[in-house]
Chain A
Amino acid sequence: MSKSIKAAALSAPLLLAATAPAMAQSVDERVNELFASSTGWFVNLIFSPFPGTSFPWIVAWLVVAATVFTIYFGLIQFRAFPHSIALVKGDYADPNDAGEVSHFQALATALSGTVGLGNIAGVAVAVGIGGPGATFWMILAGLMGMASKFTECTLGVKYRNEFEDGHVSGGPMYYMTKGFAERGLPMGKFLAVLFSVFCILGALGGGNMFQANQAHAQITNVVGQYPGWITGVVFAAVVFAVIVGGLKSIARVTEKVVPFMGIMYVAAAIVILGMNADKIGWAFGQIFEGAFTGLGIAGGMVGALIQGFKRAAFSNEAGVGSAAIAHSAVRTKEPITEGFVSLLEPFIDTVVICTMTALVIIITGQLIQDPNTGLYLLDEGASTIQTIDGNKGVALTSAAFSSAFGWFQYVLALAVILFAFSTMISWSYYGLKAWTFLFGEGQTTELVFKVIFCIFVVIGAAANLGPVIDFSDAAIFAMAVVNIIALYFLMPIVKKELNSYLSRLKSGEIKKFV
């Protein structure tokens, strides 16, 4: 907590300084130094590799958890998949509950929080380092992550707080306190406070500064350089209008445009794949071969595996606990139904959208291969694969799509901005829920957080704060450390819910309305 207060205190002078670029530069440097020296140990701890390897333990932590949940719930992500689709379609929705939040709405809102830069830029980074083989491991991790989402979202709904006036607050902090108390376990409150602190930091960092920063980078890519604080102030004003001013029209437009952009992105990818239909077999060949041999990339098979696993975890947030907050407000008599619905999220995010990005990059030949050996050529640092124009990250995705449609870079820039904006709106909510858990519900406490959040938008866009962003990424993954501990202790409760629901579904007690 002390860190977030310290950061908040720092932000006021920084906001003023942003109007004077030269001065802001020095402030940036000071913030960088301060953060790097005081938080470097934390970043190193979270992302440290297993001794003697380059495999970060946090990635293993997420994948092991996903594997445990997959086995414990008997491949629930495959067994319940058709039922999940039926729930989203509304086949089991009671018409008398019309007007309440539907499963579809809960899923769409949660998705708009996770679909974003990770799907566009992150995948390009993964494929650029790990080669096509990273795609295989990414898909595998996405499929396993479905079980983690299922577990956390079921608990999120089951242990949410419903207030007198009918509004709902839920998320890991609530299942940690209530669920642990119910099972007679100690430390629930401690875990909840720890989770909330990490969640606030993650919301201000990865869910805010990182997004603003990347949105600005994408805009300057298209229109040329200009000071970041301008983007920051515009973004902050719009975010302020939505989260403080309650300006629903902007939020509504975004919430409508974002899914449309997502669909358009996938559609464009499918068209490009169609144009290169003869190479699809080859591309999958590269993905499978690369997954087990590395095809010349740095680190071989393990290198591909790390990149794939990491990307899936970064992108779909399975096990992080954020989705449990997003899904907890749905209206349902059966918490487990929201678990079923949420398991579609990593599928759509990772198995569909991320895979599309990877396939387009591979199939349009962005990665340079040795024509004789078929191995990928590395650049001078021997860490990343050579690309046609030396593109990396979002520029690589942009180049891949633009090789088919020249104008697509503009669409992509717009998509990145909108995705960044919707991710910010979602994380402002996650952060707020953690904030009110710590400091209590109430308009004033909520306003304090919302204003802090808007200030951080400006900082994120204006400054190039590497260490701050490292720290906020680390905070998001620290959420996963705390959350997954709680999930291990509470998973028997989910199993009980699951068995009860499945038997009632089988007996016909739970039936379709359509």
Chain B
Amino acid sequence: MSNKIVLGYDDSEAAKSALAFAVSLAKAQGAELVIAHVLDWSPYSFLTPEEIEQRHKRRAEELKRAEDALLAPVRKSLADSGVTVSTELKYGHIAETLIDVIKESGASHLIIGRTGHSALSSRLFGSVAGTLAQAAPVPVTIVP
């Protein structure tokens, strides 16, 4: 069994708690940590002609921003932690894409933060954490 942990990461407070938890767990287990950030995206959404024209440029900007503001600082902060860390940056449906990352990396554990959606929006659309708890192929830890 592989010894990899996937952490679903964004800029929320819960994600920071989840990061701290994941790092301590990875240290204790001698596991590798895969930190994944997913930019919410559907190929079936509707765009204006102008948005379509600018899309390639925007995508490059979005990827750069996520890398610079989110993933690079995390890698830097964990450089001396003794944990092997890699990062993944992807577009897609958040829960589905995290499941893809788990399958590709062969990880055995998923850690995510519990983000604070309003009760109404969670009821209507389901929360990412809830979906993953039900659909992920590996054990899931949800950090409050």
B96: min CB distance to chain A, Å: 11
A221 to B41, CA, bound (A): 41
B51 sits at the interface (CB 8 A): yes
B39 contacts which chain A residues (CB < 8 A)? 99
A326-369 to B contact mask, C-beta < 8 Å, 1/0? 10011100000000000000000000000000000000000000
Known: A166-B56, A167-B54, A331-B55. A99 touches B91 (CB 8 A): yes
Known: A90-B43, A93-B43, A166-B60. A101 touches B48 (CB 8 A): no
A106 contacts which chain B residues (CB < 8 A)? 52
A90 contacts which chain B residues (CB < 8 A)? 43
Q: Which residues in window 38-54 of B have CB below 8 A to A?
A: 39, 41, 43-54
Q: Which chain B residue shows the least CB distance to A250?
A: B48
Cross-chain contact B47 with A255 (CB below 8 angstroms): yes
A98 to B54, CA, bound (A): 15
Interface centre among B41, B56, B63, B100 (most CB of A within 10 A): B56
Q: Which residues in window 43-93 of B have CB below 8 A to A?
A: 43-57, 59-60, 62-63, 90-92
> B56 contacts which of A100, A251, A258, A426 (Cβ < 8 Å)?
A100
A269 sits at the interface (CB 8 A): no
Interface centre among A113, A258, A326, A329 (most CB of B within 10 A): A329
Cross-chain contact B53 with A168 (CB below 8 angstroms): yes
B91: min CB distance to chain A, Å: 3
B128-143 to A contact mask, C-beta < 8 Å, 1/0? 0000000000000000
B59 contacts which chain A residues (CB < 8 A)? 99-100
A467 sits at the interface (CB 8 A): no
A-B contact count (CB 8 A): 84
Cross-chain contact A101 with B56 (CB below 8 angstroms): yes
A100 to B43, CA, bound (A): 8
| Interface residues on chain A, number (Cβ under 8 Å) | 37
B50 contacts which chain A residues (CB < 8 A)? 243, 251, 429
A256 contacts which chain B residues (CB < 8 A)? 46
Cross-chain contact A251 with B57 (CB below 8 angstroms): no
B46 contacts which chain A residues (CB < 8 A)? 105, 108-109, 112, 252, 255-256, 258-259
Cross-chain contact B49 with A104 (CB below 8 angstroms): no
A112 to B51, CA, bound (A): 14
A75 to B24, CA, bound (A): 63
A166 to B63, CA, bound (A): 14
A445-485 to B contact mask, C-beta < 8 Å, 1/0? 00000000000000000000000000000000000000000
Cross-chain contact A329 with B53 (CB below 8 angstroms): yes
A106 to B100, CA, bound (A): 26
A127 sits at the interface (CB 8 A): no
B141: min CB distance to chain A, Å: 26
A32 sits at the interface (CB 8 A): no
Known: A98-B92, A167-B53. A109 touches B48 (CB 8 A): yes
Cross-chain contact B91 with A166 (CB below 8 angstroms): no
Interface centre among B45, B46, B56, B63 (most CB of A within 10 A): B46
B51: min CB distance to chain A, Å: 7
> A99 contacts which of B41, B48, B54 (Cβ < 8 Å)?
B41
> A101 contacts which of B52, B60, B62, B90 (Cβ < 8 Å)?
B52
A403 sits at the interface (CB 8 A): no
A425 sits at the interface (CB 8 A): yes
Q: Which residues in window 220-248 of A have CB below 8 A to B?
A: 242-243, 248
A251 to B48, CA, bound (A): 7
> A330 contacts which of B41, B52, B54 (Cβ < 8 Å)?
B52
Q: Which chain A residue shows the least CB distance to B44?
A: A104
Known: A98-B91, A99-B62, A326-B49. A167 touches B56 (CB 8 A): yes
A167 to B48, CA, bound (A): 14
A330 contacts which chain B residues (CB < 8 A)? 52
B63 contacts which chain A residues (CB < 8 A)? 99
> A105 contacts which of B47, B57, B91 (Cβ < 8 Å)?
B47
Known: A168-B53, A168-B56, A331-B56. A255 touches B48 (CB 8 A): yes
Known: A99-B41, A99-B91, A102-B43. A425 touches B57 (CB 8 A): no
Interface centre among A101, A242, A330 (most CB of B within 10 A): A101
15 A-B residue pairs with Cβ-Cβ distance under 8 Å, sorted by A, are A90-B43, A95-B92, A95-B100, A100-B55, A100-B59, A105-B52, A109-B46, A109-B49, A166-B56, A167-B57, A168-B56, A251-B48, A255-B48, A326-B49, A426-B49
User: Lowest 10 CB-CB distances: which A-B pairs, in order?
Assistant: A99-B91, A102-B43, A255-B46, A98-B91, A166-B57, A429-B49, A251-B48, A166-B56, A99-B59, A329-B53
